[in-house]
Chain A
Amino acid sequence: MKPPPFTHHACRSVEEALGLLDADPDGSKVISGGQSLVPMMNLRLASPAHLVDLNPIPGLNGIDVGRGTLTLGATARQHAVERSADVTAAAPLLTAALAHVGHPQIRNRGTVVGSICHADPAAEMPAVFLTLGGEVTAQSAAGTRSIAAEDFFDSYLTTALEPNEIATAVTFNTPNGSSGWHFEEVTRRHGDFAIIGVVALLTLADGRISDARLTIFGGAATPVRLPAVEQLLVGVAAGDVDADLLAQAAREASAALRPGDDIHASGDYRRHVAGVLTARGIRTSLERASARA
């Protein structure tokens, strides 16, 4: 449980970090909260020669609520985001989901951006990002680009980020006033990664569902949106969402997934409960949206 030798670089600027990364993209890892990377290094599952530490860089821990957006800097701690009243007002879904990320000790150090870049398919933050939509600001020595949420997650622990790029910020789209949300996950214990989870966001316009965004996490190699379920819902009057429709949505959700077995649950379980959670997600989101409308 001791890592192999590495060089730690306490960076003072993004440029310095980018220069180090560019010099040895494959031998370097960016570290911010370190809540996933350090255990992997201790288990010798990851052995970067260089740790490019973003923590000392001034101004990278921003929590900025804009018009319809929320932008979090790479070193903004999960705890700080969770406790921000501005975040709760703009994206209560994010606040609620953060309570399920590990334990307070982990959130004191872990970052939202880091969790998204780590891209564990059973983690909460990638699923919230995919549901809300938005973009990752990816910087490299060559310049800066934006990667949309729907293009970001490639596979298990793999994203569209290049080895020489740093995600310096993540911008979430924040929902408007007539939307409702639901976050729920099944875990063996509080704070664990999800066996299966759902993030739902429904928007109402004139009493009908104008936008539906549902994401299942823990059921595939990345968090996945459920287009079939979303199509089922868009245009439906809130009052017409009945038990039959919810059951159909649940079936569609289960049918969209081919999850595998692991020691915590079978693929059958994940498929079944993905449907259960999808129905709950729709019901609760609608209740919340209707209450605000």
Chain B
Amino acid sequence: MSETIIESHLAIRKDKWIGKPTKRVEDPRYLTGTARYVADLELPRMLHAVYVRSPHPHARILSVDTSVLPGLGKSVWVFTGQDLRDVPPLIDHVALDNLLRTPQNVIAIDKVRFVGDAVAVVVAGDRYAAEDAAEQLSAAVEYEVLPPVPSVEAANAPGAALLFDDLGTNEIYRQTEKHGDTEKAFAAADRVFTTRFHHNRYGAAPMETRGVLANYERSEQQLTVWSSTQMPHFLRSVIAGQLGLPEHRVRVIAPEVGGGFGQKMCTSPEEIAIPFIALQLGRPVKWIEDRHEHLLAATQAKEEFINLEVAVSNEGKLLGVRGEFIGDGGGYSFNTESALIEPALAAKSFPGPYRIEAFDEEVAASLTNKSPVAAYRGVGWTAANTVREIMIDEIARELGIDPVEIRRRNMLRSDELPYRSVTGQLYDSGSYLESLELAMKTVDYDAFRTMQERLREQGRYLGLGISSYVEQTAWGSDSSAQAGTPLPSHDNSTVTVDPSGTVTVAVSTSCHGQGHETSYAQIAADGLGVDMADVKVVFGDTLTSPYGLGTYASRSAVIGGATVARASADVREQILKVAANMLEANPDDLVIEDGTISVAGTPSVSKTLAEVAYAAYWDSEVRSDEPMLTSTRFYDPPATYANGCVVVLAEVDADTGVVTLDRIVAIEDCGTVINPMIVEAQVQGAIVQGIGGALFEQFVYGDDGQPLTTTYMDYLIPTSTDVPPIEVLSLESPSPFSIGGIKGMGEGGQIAAPAAVANAVADALAPFGARVRKLPLAPDYVLRLMGKIGSPNG
């Protein structure tokens, strides 16, 4: 592949550490159980909160009889929506005029809109007592049950009950946008293919559920909130606003966070209610979501309906697409990104790595009596990629073209990039075709086809599924605008060398398992010329880290990485300036290597970084005008686009419909790689979650609006025995736009894997004419696709 030229102003110092698969410095504490999460925190006089949640999908709250609780106001306290009526409701931040708003009280006041909606919070001295009281109080809430709205179809049926009466409709958004000349494309088409696809509702299920601990120190007028959040600074701003506190009196700490995957990005109503209660009671209050509660009340994701018409030529060229993207938003259009988070992002990302020059999108979203839909790894992109890649395979099969060949005919070549997609996304660089070809070579495609043919004669059904993807990353102002949901932002890092010469890197991009402590230390170590062991990375505390939006949408490597590189470069200059004074040399003639500053070519004339740092702080003869060795730098990058290809090899038991995954090959191109081991693990983890979506995971609601997947015996996440070997290979197309050529990554596996699995199953079952129209591919659905039982729509 040709070397991408990175303009000099974007260059970063890449020496011993960047690109090295160094072990993660955070892992020892994860692996030895010494990491401390919100649930591990104890404060003197701390109380425990438990929620009373609605058992009804849709109901009016008539009364909450708190008098049933013995010890009320002495050993047990209750807070209802009425008690929090002065707290403003949470509303999404999306700047679209024709999007209807659905204010969500942090505890429901008049109505509940899904099973799990908050009705009251019970607080007691320990968790057991709080749960006993919550059970008692649950029986003392009087509801007027309203007709449930369990689906988008029900939401828009004539006479449907309204979730928000004053809106006059459950459909809160519908908008059409044309890109290119679809009329011409469809007029020129040899064939038009259509599909109606239902993407399943599934969710993050992080190992650590949500949790909040709040404490108000009256003497210092300081509210401290520990929360399992991805966005501590943003949460601080929201809490200050919601509770009417000066922001400098609020401190948010995200201690160890056991996974977020986007779910801990939005503001949870609990993150406002628990601090409010702590303020009222003047005692620390802790709420830890239990797993049952998590399946009811935490946000869910990815459910949408996608209806497509695709115009193609007989040669398999994609001429134009008309797509309708309908989101099932749940009970509230959730704060931060609204119910459009799925359908709008799906529509904008639909073209993917292909040359599609005409595209009409219609985006809609409806409210339903289900848990709200919010962010989860691969937001919108998963659904778009799934339906597009399934459709491409079906078109290929219909036209008698090999699925690899049809992709070759439509894919953008790397020399065509940068390329602005028909929906306005500016692909910076990539290896779309190269990823596909490498994947095919790795799985030995031709040999597979021969084996598939042979085994089919023996009644065994093997299949191979391809899913190519482009992953939008570097979520700053530009990227969010290109996605269709503008949200201006920037992030900052502070790099400081202390008087002993060790380095602290404080970043705003918070970490919840991604290995930031390692990746950022690698960048700082190269930037400063020190050993990684001399760098400590801190984050997750608004008191010690600079402001920024936190970690979501594959932004931290690009944004955080660049801020660390830029601040390190500044501090390096500061060090060299002091060293130059000490060595009586020109700063331009000095080099830093392994923590030693020397005159280039004359290693004997040198000082250690510790000596220079000491002098910088303590020696007024050599110190600079601003003696502190520190710099804070920001970055708000242009959008970058990672890409890759996931290939799944699977076998279907044609008698039982059970799908067994045999092998997965993933090609990942995320530009400059900081730590290949972390990249590989991110790809694997994302693919596992994609396997969940493809084969196992779905939040199921009955026609009565009751959730049917309320334990992990019913909501099935893949376990190690369900995951085949995943080989990850890397290509590296540095971004010509971003500092260091770094791109974000980590969502591609989740974006691509569901379609790869679905295509493998459809390929295996091609003799049966199987067409996948929904996920997950449970054995029951697989037999229906084969015509062995009932109908596929059953």
Do A and B interact?
A: yes
Q: Which of B131, B292, B719 contacts A190 (CB 8 A)?
A: B719
- Decide if B656 is an interface residue (CB 8 Å cutoff): yes
A186 and B711 contact, CB distance less than 8 A: no
Which chain A residues lie closer than 8 Å to B700 at the CB level? 263
Q: B18-26, B570-578, B635-643, B782-790: which one contacts chain A?
A: B782-790
Q: Which residue of A lies closest to B654 (CB)?
A: A276
Taking A266-B790, A266-B794, A269-B789 as contacts, is the C-beta distance between A189 and B719 under 8 angstroms?
yes
Contact between chains at A276 and B656 (CB < 8 Å):
yes
| Contact A189-B656, Cβ < 8 Å, known A264-B778, A272-B789 | no
- Quick check: is A245 within 8 A (CB to CB) of the other chain? no
The answer to whether the Cβ of B605 comes within 8 Å of any Cβ in the partner chain is no
Q: A1-B291, A2-B131, A103-B719 are in contact. List 10 more A-B contacts (CB 8 A).
A: A2-B128, A189-B722, A190-B721, A192-B716, A193-B713, A263-B700, A263-B708, A263-B714, A272-B788, A273-B657
* Whole-angstrom distance between the Cβ of B709 and the nearest chain A Cβ: 7
Find residues 272-297 in chain B having any chain A CB closer than 8 Å to their own CB: 290-293
Q: Does B247 contact A (CB under 8 A)?
A: no
Q: Which of A1-37 contact B (CB under 8 A)?
A: 1-2, 4-5
Residues of B near A39 (CB, < 8 A) are 711
A265 at the B interface (CB under 8 A): yes
Please tell me which one of the listed residues B656, B711, B790 contacts residue A273 in the complex, with CB atoms under 8 A apart: B656
Cβ of A188 within 8 Å of any chain B Cβ, yes or no, is yes
Instruction: Give the shortest distance, in Å, between A69 (CB) and chain B (any CB).
Output: 33
Which residues in B have their C-beta under 8 angstroms from that of A264? 714, 778, 780
Give the docked Cα–Cα distance between A72 and B125 (Å). Answer: 44
Instruction: Please name all residues of chain A whose beta carbon is closer than 8 Å to the beta carbon of B716 when the two chains form the complex.
Output: 188-189, 192
Q: Contact check, A186 vs B718: say whether CB atoms are below 8 A apart.
A: no
Q: Is A44 in contact with B788, judged by CB distance below 8 angstroms?
A: no
Cα distance, A35 to B291, chains bound together (Å): 17
Nearest CB on A from B766, distance (A): 22
Q: Which residue of B lies closest to A1 (CB)?
A: B290
Whether a CB of chain A sits under 8 angstroms from the CB of B655 is yes
Residues of chain A in range 142-189 having any CB-CB distance to chain B below 8 Å? 186, 188-189
A117 to B50: give the CA distance in the assembly, Å: 34
Q: Does A64 contact B (CB under 8 A)?
A: no
Q: With A263-B700, A263-B709, A266-B780 in contact, do A186 and B790 touch (Cβ < 8 Å)?
A: no
- Contact-residue size bin, chain A (C-beta under 8 Å from the other chain): 20 to 34
Determine whether A268 belongs to the interface, using a CB cutoff of 8 Å to chain B: yes
Q: Is the CB of B779 within 8 A of A186?
A: yes
Could you tell me the distance between the alpha carbons of A7 and B402 in the complex, rounded to whole angstroms?
67
What residues on A are CB-neighbors of B656 within 8 Å?
Answer: 186, 273, 276-277
Q: Is the CB of B132 within 8 A of A192?
A: no
The answer to whether the Cβ of B196 comes within 8 Å of any Cβ in the partner chain is: no
- Say yes or no: is A58 at the interface (Cβ < 8 Å to chain B): no
Check A96 for interface membership: any CB of B closer than 8 A: no
Query: B696 contacts the other chain (Cβ, under 8 Å)?
Result: yes
Query: Is A273 touching B655 in the complex (CB atoms < 8 A)?
Result: yes
Cβ-defined contact, A2 with B127, below 8 A: yes
Q: Would A189 and B696 count as touching, CB distance under 8 A?
A: yes
Q: Give the nearest-CB partner of A195 in chain B.
A: B779
Q: Is B658 in the interface zone, CB < 8 Å from A?
A: yes
Chain B CB within 8 A of A85 CB: no
Number of interface residues of B (CB under 8 A): 34
Q: Indicate if the CB atoms of B135 and A44 lie closer than 8 Å.
A: yes
Q: Which of A2, A43, A103, A277 lies in contact with B711, CB distance below 8 A? A: A43
A-B interface contact total, Cβ < 8 Å: 74
Q: List 17 A-B contacts (CB under 8 A).
A: A2-B128, A2-B131, A4-B132, A186-B656, A186-B658, A186-B779, A188-B695, A188-B696, A188-B716, A190-B719, A190-B722, A191-B721, A192-B713, A265-B778, A265-B780, A272-B783, A277-B656
Q: Shortest distance in angstroms between A266's beta carbon and chain B's nearest beta carbon?
A: 5
B779→A265 contact, CB < 8 A:
yes
CA distance A44 to B656 in the complex (A): 36
Q: Which of A5, A44, A189, A269 sits near B718, CB closer than 8 Å?
A: A189
Bound state CA distance, A5 and B700, in angstroms?
A: 32
Q: Lowest 10 A-B CB distances belong to which pairs?
A: A1-B290, A269-B780, A190-B721, A265-B780, A276-B655, A268-B789, A2-B131, A263-B700, A2-B128, A263-B708
- A226 CB to closest chain B CB (Å) equals 18
A266 to B779, CA, bound (A): 10
Q: Which residue of A lies closest to B130 (CB)?
A: A2
Q: Kindly identify, within residues 680 to 727 of chain B, every residue whose CB is under 8 Å from any CB belonging to chain A.
A: 695-696, 700, 708-709, 711, 713-714, 716, 718-719, 721-722
Binding site for B on A (CB under 8 A): 1-2, 4-5, 39, 43-44, 103, 186, 188-193, 195, 263-266, 268-269, 272-273, 276-277
Docked pose: A1 CA to B710 CA in angstroms: 12
In the complex, what's the smallest C-beta–C-beta distance from B651 to chain A, in angstroms?
15
B interface residues, Cβ below 8 angstroms from A: 127-128, 131-132, 135, 290-293, 655-658, 695-696, 700, 708-709, 711, 713-714, 716, 718-719, 721-722, 778-780, 783, 788-790, 794
Chain B residues in 8 Å Cβ range of A44: 135
Residues on the B chain within 8 Å of A193, using CB: 713
Q: B residues within 8 A CB of A273?
A: 655-657, 779, 783
Of B131, B135, B655, most A-chain CB atoms within 10 Å: B655
Q: How far is the CA of A277 from the CA of B656 in the complex (A)?
A: 9
Q: Are B290 and A5 in touch, CB under 8 angstroms?
A: no
Least CB distance, B783 to chain A, in whole angstroms:
6
CA distance A1 to B291 in the complex (A): 8
Distance between Cα atoms of A276 and B655 in the complex (Å): 7
Q: Determine the distance from Cα of A193 to Cα of B711 in the docked complex, in whole angstroms.
A: 13
Q: Who on chain A is nearest to B782 by CB?
A: A269
Query: With A263-B700, A266-B780, A269-B780 in contact, do A191 and B655 touch (Cβ < 8 Å)?
Result: no
In the complex, what's the smallest C-beta–C-beta distance from B127 to chain A, in angstroms?
6
Given contacts A186-B656, A188-B778, contact A268 B135 (CB under 8 A): no
User: Once bound together, how far apart are the Cα atoms of A268 and B131, in whole Å?
Assistant: 41
The chain B residue sitting closest to A268, CB to CB, is B789
B727 shortest CB reach to chain A, Å: 22
By beta carbon, the residue of chain A nearest B288 is A1
CA A143 – CA B778 in complex, angstroms? 49
**Chain B neighbourhood of A186, CB < 8 A:** 656, 658, 779
Given A189-B718, A190-B721, A191-B721, A43 contacting B135 (CB threshold 8 A)? no
Nearest-CB distance from A159 to chain B (Å)?
21
Whether the Cβ atoms of A189 and B721 lie closer than 8 Å is: yes
State the Cβ distance, B321 to closest chain A Cβ, in Å.
Answer: 33
Closest to A280 in B: B655
- Bound-state CA distance A269–B790 (Å) is 9
A269–B783 CB distance below 8 A: yes
How far apart are the CA atoms of A277 and B290 in the complex, in Å? 38
Are B713 and A1 in touch, CB under 8 angstroms?
no
Nearest chain B CB to A54 CB, angstrom units: 25
| A5: chain B residues within 8 A (beta carbon) | 128, 132
Determine the chain A residues whose CB is within 8 A of the CB of B718 once the complex forms: 189
Min CB distance B244 to A, Å, is 34
* Contact (A4, B135) CB under 8 Å given A43-B711, A263-B708: yes
Of B713, B719, B789, most A-chain CB atoms within 10 Å: B789
Shortest CB-to-CB span from B139 to chain A, Å, is 12
> Which A residue's beta carbon lies closest to that of B709?
A263
> Whole-angstrom distance between the alpha carbons of A4 and B658 in the complex?
40
Q: How far is the CA of A39 from the CA of B290 in the complex (A)?
A: 13
User: Could you tell me the distance between the alpha carbons of A195 and B789 in the complex, rounded to whole angstroms?
Assistant: 16
A272 to B719 alpha-carbon distance, docked (Å): 27
Closest to B695 in A: A188
Please name all residues of chain B whose beta carbon is closer than 8 Å to the beta carbon of A266 when the two chains form the complex: 780, 789-790, 794
For residue A192, which residues in chain B have a CB less than 8 angstroms away from its CB?
Answer: 713, 716
CB distance from B467 to the nearest CB of A (A): 22
A92 to nearest B CB, angstroms? 22
Residue on B with the closest CB to A4? Answer: B132
Q: A1, A43, A191, A277: which contacts B719 (Cβ < 8 A)?
A: A191
Which A residues are CB-close (under 8 A) to B135?
4, 44
Q: How far is the CA of A103 from the CA of B712 in the complex (A)?
A: 14
Interchain CA distance A251-B319 in the complex, whole Å: 50
Q: How far is the CA of A268 from the CA of B713 in the complex (A)?
A: 22
* Alpha-carbon separation in the docked complex, A193 to B695 (Å): 17
